[in-house]
Amino acid sequence: MIKTFFDNILLWRSRHITDRQFMLLLALVVGVLTALAGLLLKWLIHQIEYLLTHHFSITGANWLYLVYPIIGIFLTGLFVRYVVRDDIGHGITKILYAIARKKSFIKAHNTWSSVIASSITIGFGGSVGAEAPIVLTGSAIGSNLGRLFHLDAKKVMLLVGCGAAGAVSGIFKAPIAGLVFTLEVLMFDFTLGSLLPLLVSCVTAAAVTFAISGTDNLFEFHLTEAFAIERFPAYMLLGIFCGFISLYFTRVMNWLEDQFRRLGSPWKRLLVAAPILSVLIFLFPSLYGEGYDMIRILLNGQGQADWNQVLEGSFFYVTPHLLLLYLAGIIIFKVFATTATNSGGGCGGTFAPSLFLGCVSGFLFASLWNLLFGMDNGQLSVGDWAIFNPVPENNFSLLGMAGLMSGVMHAPLTGIFLIAELTGGYGLFLPLMVVAVTAYLTIIIFEPHSIYTMRLARKGELVTHNKDHAILTLMSMDSVIERYEEHLHPGDDLGEIVRQISSSERDVFPVVDDAGKLLAVLILDRVRHVMFRTELYHQLHVSDLMSHCAARLTTNDAMDLVMQTFDRTKAWTLPVVDSDGLFVGFIRRSHVTALYRTMVHDLSEE
């Protein structure tokens, strides 16, 4: 009865609402649901963190920092392993994989599981961010709504993008950044027709968040010193510095994840990762959770007394002169804390760690710059410009956030617009651009893929802004394999060959052994000159007429590798085998080309 009622709704919709109007309506729904999910996640994190830490001393170390993170990732691990029973880590990578390999299908549990898991992880001190889990949640909402209404793969992919855009827009109160993030990080192609639903989702999510939580920026920032052209060299050097910090963060995280993965058992990973995380948070309490309180201090502090607040709850509280050493330690160990959190069983992303690390890096850079070129050490002037003069730590903390986000995510536009919207720091728009672009150009020399895409790039499963590669990635092997019911064997005579040819429209036939393993192929042109000579039907055999394969494809090959193989061999038809060498079918170049042209048309039309 419910199915019949829903089918009637779909029928009414198809008669009264155009596809374009329906997509805009769904984008609005996705924006509302995603914003509510983001607000719920933030509220849960705040409540858990306040309940656990509001009584902590600020004048010395707190031993419970050694306990809470272990409990958090242990509880998260139990929840994921026995309730969700699926891997929900690396949220943005999962979205990219869903777009690339699963026709934008994201499991239904992702609409709620990441919210619960990441709130436990972060509330108990896990050194990760809530943004990637909520982006996965938003994308899952879009994916499941699309499948609920039986939309095609192209529209479902657009709704996945709407969910991601709404998530970033809502949780950061940054609608422009939400749109740019989706276009820059997730989507390989877009048209004007797909831009409007993304905008609707972004604006709706931001409006819902503003209505419920107020219109204040996530990080209040008061510009004390405006942009000055003579600081251009400092902006450039900060960008390079952020680029190398991004490279360090990306490479070390990737290496650490590999080391944890080699441990095998999740319990072994927990036993190794949990102590690392708890000790690091005990020594550096600023690593607890997202670290947004520390960002606010560095952005709005007016002097040493304010900045020393970051030392509260640590051994360093009684040694404020070691503030810069403390910040350097955070830069070094943040990646260890973040990786230990996720690898040990926690759930979180690298959005917040990038912002946190960028703020610390910008402040440390400015502080060291001022130590070198402060008033007491003299200034270097070029003409009327004092090039090497002191710089404001607050401004550079803000700029560092854009630099790290640009470098880690390989998304300079996202870094620029997100930081400007997060803080209201539009007065530093040009320096934001300089730092973000310089950081990106620095890391791209050494690392061609972002922290989100490098895992997929290794497997050839990455959708990129290269439309040709993107379309090939979206094509599946199953859609182009031509399967055969009859096979030839080396001992079959010419009569059997003619029988199969006469009942088929194909021009190439597989030759297999008794186990079904591919040995060779038989091409019609090799038989054409003898197929009507009946006196040879029992004299010639398949083994006399078969040919070696120019190449063999496997069912696990990516489509770009398939096309490369066709180009290399100049073949028009190639056999496909499974991992055991058993024959599966043939792929024809003409079939691949026709499907490619169809997908180009489908993705390009409005």
pLDDT at 5: 65
> Span 475-604: which CATH code?
3.10.580.10
pLDDT for 371-428, tens place per residue?
A: 887 654 445 444 445 566 788 899 999 999 999 999 999 999 999 998 888 877 677 8
The tokens of 73 are what?
Answer: 């990732």
pLDDT at 278: 94
pLDDT tops 60 at residue 508: yes
pLDDT for 251-267, tens place per residue?
A: 999 999 999 989 988 89
CB of 127 closer than 8 Å to CB of 287 = yes
pLDDT at 382: 46
Q: Using a CB cutoff of 8 Å and minimum separation of 24, what contacts does 91-95 make? A: 91/132, 91/133, 91/135, 91/136, 91/349, 92/132, 92/135, 92/136, 92/164, 92/185, 92/186, 92/349, 92/452, 93/452, 93/453, 93/455, 93/456, 94/136, 95/135, 95/136, 95/139, 95/160, 95/164, 95/186
pTM score: 0.80
Q: What's domain 229-460's architecture?
A: Orthogonal Bundle (1.10)
Overall average pLDDT of the 278-297 stretch: 92
| HEC assignment per residue over 130-176 | CHHHHHHHHHHHHHHHHHHCCCCHHHHHHHHHHHHHHHHHHHHCCHH
CB of 595 closer than 8 Å to CB of 479 = yes
CB of 366 closer than 8 Å to CB of 391 = yes
pLDDT tops 70 at residue 513: yes
Q: What is the CA radius of gyration of the chain?
A: 29
CATH 1.20.1560.10 fits 2-213, yes or no: no
pLDDT at 383: 46
Domain 2-213 identical in fold to domain 229-460: yes
pLDDT for 70-119, tens place per residue?
A: 999 999 999 998 999 888 877 787 887 777 667 778 899 999 999 999 99
Q: Where are the domains of the chain?
A: 2-213, 229-460, 475-604
